[in-house]
Amino acid sequence: MSIILSPERAFFFLNQLQDDRWLNIREMGRPEAYYALNNWNEAQIIKLYHLDSLAWGNDVLDGANKKGVHVFQSLLNSNLFALFGEDLVVEDPATAEFIDLTWSSQNFVD
Terminal Cα-to-Cα distance of the chain (whole angstroms): 7
**Is residue 108 classed as helix, strand or coil in its secondary structure?**
helix
Per DSSP, what are the bridge partners of residue 3? 90
Better-scored residue on pLDDT, 7 or 17: 17
pLDDT given for residue 46 in this prediction: 80
Identify which of 27-41, 65-79, 86-100 has the greatest average pLDDT.
65-79
Q: What count of Cα atoms within 13 Å lies in the side-chain half-sphere of residue 91?
A: 14
Q: What is the pTM of this model?
A: 0.75
pLDDT given for residue 109 in this prediction: 40
Q: What count of Cα atoms within 13 Å lies in the side-chain half-sphere of residue 37?
A: 26
**How far is it, in rounded angstroms, from Cα 22 to Cα 20?**
7
Q: Residue 75: pLDDT band by 50, 70, 90 thresholds?
A: confident
